Amino acid sequence: MSASQFEPLPMTSTQPTPPPAPSAEPNPIREAIAEAIAEHKVILFMKGTPEAPGCGFSARTVAALQALDTPFAAVDVLPDPRIRQELSAISDWPTIPQLFIDGELIGGCDIVTEMYESGELAQALV
Amino acid sequence: MPSAEDIRQRIETAIPGAQADVEDYTGGGDHFRATVTATAFDGLSRVQQHRLVYEVFGAEIGGAIHALALKTQTPSKTQTL
């Protein structure tokens, strides 16, 4: 007797549907962050504002961008801890600041400073 | 509270062949500066290299370790001919 003689088991219709993946749940903060990254050529997520940075690493990153006369969007992560949480989930990067150019994570303060000093940052901003 | 030596050992244990120089630059056990040299960084972008080091500490970064300033490089870059 061959296997083809069996009726297909009716299991698929009775199995519970798997729960949706976490990423399928609506997440307005994450979506707003992703949208902001996509919409701005240069965007910096930082503590405080460019005028009043809330941390030395953010201040140094702002200074590098300002030294190159680059217009950039800035997002203060301090008002709501979820901004930082969702940003790090998107970028797979644990610290603040985070600089994005053309939708891509360039890095934090160390990388931005290194790239500023080597001239690579100016090139990336063209 | 981790010491610079703890941080150095953890990086060198987690990343095969890595050599780390770590400094606790405030003396408070929560702000560190590390230069890490590893062949494992070969062919990776700076972002990917830093991620490898951050991953050693997971949620401790931004928690117990308030700051870990990083400079990463491959051995070939430090060799003088």
In this complex, do A95 and B61 lie within 8 Å of one another by their Cβ atoms?
Answer: yes
ipTM for this prediction: 0.87
Q: Which of A84, A105, A111, A121 should be substituted to probe chain B, the one whose Cβ sees the most B Cβ atoms within 10 Å?
A: A111
Tell me the domain boundaries of chain B: 4-20+32-76
A110 domain-assigned: yes
Residue B48 at interface with chain A, using a CB cutoff of 8 Å: no
Which residues 81-100 on chain A approach chain B with CB closer than 8 angstroms?
A: 92-95
User: What residue has token string 């300033």?
Assistant: B69
CATH of the domain at A47: 3.40.30.10
Residue range A82-118, pLDDT digits in tens? 999 999 999 999 999 999 999 999 999 999 999 999 9
A15 domain-assigned: no
Alpha carbons A54 and A47: distance in angstroms, whole number = 5
Find the length of chain B: 81
Name the helix (H) or strand (E) containing A11.
Answer: helix A11-14
The number of distinct structural domains making up chain A is 1
Cβ A46 vs Cβ A79: under 8 Å: no
Residue type, A62: V
Cβ neighbors of A78 (< 8 A, separation 6 or more) are: A47, A48, A54
Query: Measuring CA to CA, which residue among A37, A48, A54, A42 is closest to residue A88?
Result: A37
Residue A57 at interface with chain B, using a CB cutoff of 8 Å: yes
Name the helix (H) or strand (E) containing A107.
Answer: strand A104-107
Residue range A48-92, pLDDT digits in tens? 999 999 999 999 999 999 999 999 999 999 999 999 999 999 999
A49 domain-assigned: yes
Which CATH fold topology does B4-20+32-76 show? Answer: GMP Synthetase; Chain A, domain 3 (3.30.300)
pTM: 0.83
Three-class SS state of A75: strand
